[in-house]
Amino acid sequence: MITFDHVTKRYPGSNEAITNVSFSIEQGELVYVTGHSGAGKSTLLKLIAAIERPTNGTVLINNQNVSKLKATSLPYIRRMFGLVFQDHKLLYDRNCYHNVALPLAIHGITGIDAAKRIRAALDKVGLLNKEKAMPITLSGGEQQRLAIARAVVCRPSILIADEPTGNLDRNYASDILQLFTAFKQVGVTVVIATHDALGQSNSESQTNYQNKVLHLNQGKLINSEAMV
Amino acid sequence: MKGWLIQHAQVFKQVLSRFSQHKLNTLLICLSIGVTLALPSILYMVLNNLNALVSDVKSESHLSVFLTVGHDETAVQTIKTALENNAMVKSFYYVNKEDALKQLLESNNNNEAISALDGNPLPDAFFVEPKNLDSESISTLKNQLSSMDAIEEVIVDSAWITRLNYLLTLGKKAMFILTGLLGFALIAVIGNTIRMQVLTQRDEIELSQLIGATKSFIRRPFLYAGALYGLTGGVLALTISWLVILFFNQTVKQIALNYHVDFSLNFMSFSLAVTTLAISTAIGWLASYVSISLPKNQA
C-alpha cells in the first residue's frame, strides 16, 4: 500500500531530515514510528501523506509515485488519508460538529448523508453529546478525540496520527490507542508516530496482533522489525 | 451535476452566514462600493438626459436672416431665389415685419407696451433650415448669406447648443475617466477586504490543503464573497442614484416649467441598470481573484 524506496528528504537550508529510508506498509497494518524528538517522525508522516515530496528516492502510495504526480492531482491522493495532527489543528471559530464537517465538504458530501456520518464519527470517539460545544471548551483528551473523529469521518483507508498521545495522561492515552486498534481491526491501515514506549507496550498488552515498528534515529531507519 | 450545484449552493450559504456574522463590516464595505459606483452613474444619467434634451433642440435649429430696414421688394426676390438655389438649404420661409408683429402680439401678454411703440420696429426676416446640422456647414451658410446685399444680420440659433454639445462631450470623457479610476479604487477596496478574510481564515485554508481540498474548493468562497460584495454594492449604487435623481427632479421640473418645457431627468434604462450590476459583480469577482492570486495571500 505504501512503499518507500531509498527516500531522502532535505528541507531547504537544513540537514537531511530523512536519510535513505526504505520500508513498506501493507493494508490493515498498525505501524508505530518511534524515535526521539527531531528524529524525523513528522517528516516521515508528511511524506506518507503526500504533504511533502521526497528530495531523493520514490514514495509509492497505492502504486502511484508521489514525486511524479501533478500538483492538481495531489489533493485527490491526500483524500485517501485521515490525518491526526500533532497540534490538532482544530478550528476554533466553529463547533465540534462543523469541525468534523469540513473534510466531508472537501469530499463533496453534504446534507443528511454528511450529518449521519458526522454523528457516527463523534459517537465513535464518545463526543456525541458535545457536538454543539466549541473546541476551546473541550479538555485536551477531548480535543484529541475530536481531531480523530475529523480524521476518520471520511472513512479513510489509511489513518495517520502524529503524537496522538503526546501530552495526555495514561488513561486518556490508552483510550485513544484502543480507538486506533479498533480502526485497525476493521481493516484500516494505521500509522502512529510516538516518542514514548508506553503507547506500544500498552497496546501490545491489549492486543495479540503483531505491530510493526519503524524506529528512526537522526533520520535513519534503525529497524523495521515486527514487534511480537 | 446535482452534486456540483449543491456544493455551490453550500458555499453560497457559507458566504452569506459569514456576512451575517460580520453585519456591520459587510454593510460598510457594500456601502463604500455603492457610493463609489453611484458617483459615475449619477453623472452618466445627468449627462445622458442633457444630451437627449440638446439633440431634441438641435433638430429644430435654424438660421434667422434679418433684412435691412428700408430695402425694396426686388432684394427680397433676389434672396428668395438665392435660397431656393442653395444646395445647403433644406427649407425656408419668409416672414414680413407686419406678420412678425402680429405673431408677437399673439404670443405676448404685454401688448400695451408694444402698441405704445410708434411704428413697427421689427425687420423682415427669412427663417432657414439648413440641410446639415454640423457647425462647419452652418457657419459656411451663414457667411454666404451675410455677404449678400440687403441682409443686416444672420443669427445661428443653435450656436450655443453646439458649444453645449462640446461641453457635454467633455463631461462624458471626464465620466469615463472617473469610472475607470473608481473601478481601480473598487478593486483595491474589495481586494483588501478579501485579503483580510484570507488572513483570518488562514488556519482553515492550511488545514483544508493538508486534507485534500483542491485549489478551486479553497478559492470558491472568496470569489463568491467578492462577487457578492460587488453585486450588493451595485444594488446600493442604483438605489442611491435613483434617490438622487428623484431629489434633483423636484428642482429640475420647476426650472423646466419656467422655460415652458416638460422635462425631467429619467432614470437609466433597465438594460443599463442590469449592465451596471453585471459590471459591479465582475469587478468584485476580479478584485477577489487578484487578491487571492497574489503570491503572499495565495489561497
Kindly report the backbone phi and psi dihedral angles of residue A51, in degrees, each rounded to the nearest multiple of 5, phi listed first. Answer: -85, -40
Q: Which residues of A touch B (CB under 8 A)?
A: 49, 51, 72, 75-79, 81, 83, 85, 89, 91, 93, 102-103, 105-108, 110-111
List of chain A residues with pLDDT < 50: 198-199, 201-208, 227-228
Tens place of pLDDT for every residue, chain B, 299 residues? 677 788 788 888 888 988 888 899 899 999 999 999 999 999 888 888 888 877 766 666 678 888 887 777 788 888 888 888 888 888 888 888 778 877 777 776 666 777 777 777 788 888 888 777 676 777 788 888 888 877 888 887 766 777 777 888 898 899 899 989 999 999 999 999 999 989 988 899 999 999 999 998 999 999 999 999 999 999 999 999 999 999 998 888 888 888 777 778 888 889 999 999 999 999 999 999 999 988 766 65
* Cβ partners under 8 Å of residue B121, min gap 6: none
pTM exceeds 0.80, yes or no? no
* Alpha-carbon separation of residue A123 from A97, A106, A116, A117, A177 (angstroms): 11, 21, 10, 10, 16
Is residue A42 within 8 Å of residue A57, measured between CB atoms?
no
Q: Do A51 and B215 count as a contact with CB atoms less than 8 A apart?
A: no
Cell of A186: 476493521
- pLDDT by residue (tens digit) across A160-203? 999 888 777 777 788 888 888 888 889 999 999 987 654 454 44
Cell of B60: 429644430
Residues of chain A contacting residue B18, judged by C-beta atoms under 8 Å apart: none
Instruction: Evaluate whether ipTM surpasses 0.90.
Output: no
Q: Do A83 and B210 count as a contact with CB atoms less than 8 A apart?
A: yes
Nearest CA-CA partner of B157 in B142, B143, B147? B142
- Rounded CA gap, B78 and B269, in Å? 51
For an interface test with A, give the residue of B2, B200, B207 to mutate (most A CBs within 10 A). Answer: B207
Is residue A119 within 8 Å of residue A109, measured between CB atoms?
no
Is residue B128 within 8 Å of residue B65, measured between CB atoms?
yes
Q: Do A106 and B207 count as a contact with CB atoms less than 8 A apart?
A: no
Within 10 angstroms of residue A86's Cβ, the number of other Cβ atoms is: 16
Share of chain B above pLDDT 70, in %: 92
- Locus of grid cell 457536538: A131
Cell of A56: 531523493
Residues of chain A contacting residue B209, judged by C-beta atoms under 8 Å apart: 75
Q: Which residue of A has its CA nearest to B217?
A: A106
**What per-residue confidence (pLDDT) applies to B18?**
85
**What per-residue confidence (pLDDT) applies to B92?**
85
On the 0-12 / 13-18 / 19+ scale of CB atoms within 10 A, B108 is exposed
Strand A211-217, strand A30-34: pairing = parallel
* Alpha-carbon separation of residue B25 from B20, B229, B239, B278 (angstroms): 9, 11, 20, 23
- Name which of B203, B206, B212 is nearest A76 (Cβ-Cβ): B212
Q: Do B211 and A108 count as a contact with CB atoms less than 8 A apart?
A: no
